[in-house]
Structure 1
Amino acid sequence: MNADPSTDPARDAEQTALEPERLLPDALLETFRERAAVYDRENRFFDEDLADLRELGYLRLFVPTEMGGLGVSLLQVTRLQRRLAGAAPATALGINMHLVVTGAAVVALRRGLESARTILEQAAAGELFAFGISEAGNEAMLFDAATTAAPRQDGGYELTGIKIFTSLSPAWTRLVTHAKIAGADDAASDRLVFGILERGEGVASLDDWDTHGMRASQSCTTRLDGAVMPAEAVLATTPVGPNGEPLPFGIFGVFELLLASVYIGIAERAVQVGVGIATTRRSVTRGIVHADDPDIRRRLARAAIGCDGAVLQIEKVAYDLDALGAAQAVPGATDHGPRWSLHFSGVKARATEAAIAAVDEVLRSSGGRHYSRGSEIERLSRDVRAGIYQPSDEESVQSSYARALLGEVGAER
């Protein structure tokens, strides 16, 4: 993930061949867009999209070239995901989870976690990764778990618990998940284990995904009942609570940036559609096209301004994360030190809110016909709201910033 391809002419040529418009051409995106409406209406998984993406090598975007992958930078993957989300939001959100796992493995490997190489090797071999971290009521997410891990004599663990929002449920072949290993003496000695599960005994995907939007992602509940994580599938153990360990750090950063990219991709598509509507829709009363209506113009301008600002933030933090751990200094990159987590969560929260606001502006400017099912704008307006429920939300971001500025509540001043 070289953040400055211009320093390497050979890599520059490779990356140019992987520009979003080349890897995801307009004709393919139009096919995805047509399917998206069907998947949404029928509440079914994006099997055909997945097959096409697999054929393109999309599952190997982050896998280094020497391992048989495409070796794409995080910055370029954010651009690809924005483009894909503009055609098929739920497909983009679903495949995001595989990309989060593989992208996080690259970041963690750069930070010294050799076990992360296993993820990249398996992805190179064609495995599809899902992301099993979310739990009902667990606001700490990566940094705590309600799921329990019982140690086995072989050095592995048996996991018991329930994971929610497990995207790719019908298709994944590997699940990266975490659980709490009870400490021997007190809660202070508790640790978390991160590792890989395969489908099989003790792992059940429930058919319970029937939602307002993002329906094709099929992010069903996963029930773990003594699911075996063998010793060779353990990736890391970490303390409970916020920490900068390589794997949680990589997951947190890549997860937030790719989520932000998906939601801004939806908003960018909404603006594009809104412009098309405004230039063709006429006011019978005033005898003008809506593109000449000052209120419509302001709404679409506000939507575009919000999208542009969010894209700049996403790309800057992605560029900086690409550069972290690089063999040589990368021009213009910043190591954010203790503020990395604030930037990761802040970018996602701001991008999500900007995306929702932009889609709403387009919806308001486009007329009552687009309140009806079958309108692309209507579907985008539902899909974009899924971002409210994915970390980090506004409340947690504000809490983190307040803690950084003011310390813990009740702390001595």
Structure 2
Amino acid sequence: MTTIEELLPDDLLETLRGRAAGYDEDNRFFTEDLEDLKAARYLTMLVPEEFGGHGLTLRQASQAQRRLAQAAPATALGINMHHVIMGMAYTLWRRGDHRLDWVFEDAVKGEIFAFGISEAGNDAVLFDSVSTATPSGDGGYTISGTKIFTSLSPVWTRLVVHARHEDQLVFGFLDRDADGIEIINDWDTLGMRASQSCTTKLHEVVMRPERVGTHTPLGPNPDPLVWGIFGAFELLLAAVYTGIGERAVNLAVEIVGKRRSHVKNAPYAHDPDIRWQIASAGILMDGVVLQLEKLTGDVDLVGTGEEPQYGGKWFLHFSGVKGRATEAAKEAVELAVRTTGGSQYFRRSELQRLYRDVVAGLYHPSDNESLHASYAKALLGPVRE
């Protein structure tokens, strides 16, 4: 089996890191990075070996995404959405559910999957939709609506979407060459600029019958396809932002070891206040790494006799790890910026770019508000009128 270091060798990471600032400055998609990652077959790391992939586990994939994010955060975030779909298919496959085995086959052929779930104002996210699904009479649907934050907009060839038909949700896949898909070139953001997560408008786009993945009721439910999307999305997002936090800590250590205090005639690495703050950042990141390793490892046990019996708490655990990872990474980056001097405020600084990139983690579902609402409901019950 391929190791993480073989999949992402140091020289490749340095190449990707060297491009990141230019992509950010030009607000440009990571075209060259994608070609290099394709050549490494990075897009098939979660595809089982029997389908021609690397056969990595979700835990290993999260480790790879942390490693990639330390070099090129926006590239890692963009490619993450492809891996979310592979992760969804992977969890179904582990359960002995083969309805999405074709996703693996397509990925090996070079198809790129993207995530078209987020919608403006839809704070229910996976559990409702403001897009509409109209039955086409042959088991398929036509889908209309607007999806936001559609990463990989310039290159995706398969898009996972959900839409509402009466009192149920339809989940399935759209093909890039279908009529009625309009991609709006509106990605001009504070950070994560190379991900090019543009708005996608769907005008009666055909979802073929064989591309329908599942139907679910409205609201939280244990449908295994939805479970797979939710888990892979939250955990792999957590991995990306954890990688950003880890990189910030490493940069802070490197920078304060070189900077010297004029007053004390000693490296800033000897200053007790700076030592405390960088140590705090390291403590934060080690904590989320352990949580991420534990929960991705638990998902890898799905379909075996050792599968943890979390029941409905799986969703709380997924959201909790994502929430803690993004908040910890944000705090770690801020601590790194605080301790490394004013030169890090300049655009040439990698830390200032990490500072802007890490803020995006606040907006991905589950956000802090929905996380707390879910925990409050689980602990205190619903609010009754």
TM-score by length of 2: 0.98
Which residue identity does 2:73 align to in structure 1?
A: P
Show the counterpart of 1:355.
329
> How far off is 1:199 after superposition?
1.5
Q: Does 1:159 align with 2:143?
A: yes
Q: 2:192 aligns with which of 214, 220, 231?
A: 214
Q: Does 1:265 align with 2:243?
A: yes
Q: 2:338 aligns with which of 364, 368, 382?
A: 364
Which residue identity does 2:312 align to in structure 1?
A: P
**1:5-404 paired onto structure 2 within 5 Å:** 14=1, 18-111=2-95, 113-182=97-166, 190-200=167-177, 201-326=179-304, 329-330=305-306, 334-404=308-378
Instruction: Look up the SS of the partner of 1:337 in the other structure.
Output: coil
Name stretches of at least 5 consecutive residues in structure 2 with no aligned partner: none
> How far off is 1:136 after superposition?
0.3
Q: Deviations over 1:274-329 (max 9, x none)?
A: 10101000111221110000011011100000000000000100000110112xx3
- Contact between 1:209 and 1:218, CA under 8 Å: does it hold in 2? yes
Which residue identity does 1:299 align to in structure 2?
A: Q
- Contact between 1:324 and 1:335, CA under 8 Å: does it hold in 2? no
Rounded to whole Å, the distance in 1 between the matches of 2:287 and 2:4 is: 20
- Percentage of matched positions with identical amino acids: 57
> How far off is 1:112 after superposition?
5.1
- Contact between 1:108 and 1:249, CA under 8 Å: does it hold in 2? no
Show the counterpart of 1:10.
none
- Contact between 2:94 and 2:303, CA under 8 Å: does it hold in 1? yes
Q: Structure 1 residues 101-110 or 79-88, which shifts more?
A: 101-110
Q: Deviations over 1:16-45 (max 9, x none)?
A: xx3222211111111100100100000000
Rounded to whole Å, the distance in 1 between the matches of 2:54 and 2:7 is: 11
- Contact between 1:371 and 1:378, CA under 8 Å: does it hold in 2? yes
Rounded to whole Å, the distance in 2 between the matches of 1:381 and 1:363 is: 8
Rounded to whole Å, the distance in 2 between the matches of 1:27 and 1:227 is: 42
Instruction: Look up the SS of the partner of 1:205 in the other structure.
Output: strand
Rounded to whole Å, the distance in 2 between the matches of 1:226 and 1:139 is: 23
- Contact between 1:68 and 1:124, CA under 8 Å: does it hold in 2? yes
Rounded to whole Å, the distance in 2 between the matches of 1:152 and 1:78 is: 39
Q: Structure 1 residues 346-355 or 23-32, which shifts more?
A: 23-32
Change in 2 beyond 3 A, CA 1:123/1:364 = same
> How far off is 1:393 after superposition?
1.2
Name stretches of at least 5 consecutive residues in structure 1 with no aligned partner: 1-13, 183-189
Alignment length, in residue pairs? 384
Rounded to whole Å, the distance in 2 between the matches of 1:232 and 1:149 is: 15
> How far off is 1:118 after superposition?
2.2
After superposition, the CA RMSD in angstroms is: 1.1
- Contact between 1:303 and 1:358, CA under 8 Å: does it hold in 2? yes
- Contact between 1:113 and 1:247, CA under 8 Å: does it hold in 2? no
Q: Deviations over 1:70-98 (max 9, x none)?
A: 11100000100000000000000000000
- Contact between 1:194 and 1:236, CA under 8 Å: does it hold in 2? yes
Instruction: Look up the SS of the partner of 2:294 in the other structure.
Output: helix
Q: Deviations over 1:228-274 (max 9, x none)?
A: 10111111111111001011100000110000000010010111111
Which residue identity does 2:144 align to in structure 1?
A: T
- Contact between 2:96 and 2:303, CA under 8 Å: does it hold in 1? no
Q: Deviations over 1:114-171 (max 9, x none)?
A: 3222212211221000000000010111111000011102211111100000000000
- Contact between 1:208 and 1:220, CA under 8 Å: does it hold in 2? yes
> How far off is 1:67 after superposition?
0.8
Which residue identity does 1:173 align to in structure 2?
A: T
Q: Structure 1 residues 108-117 or 50-59, which shifts more?
A: 108-117
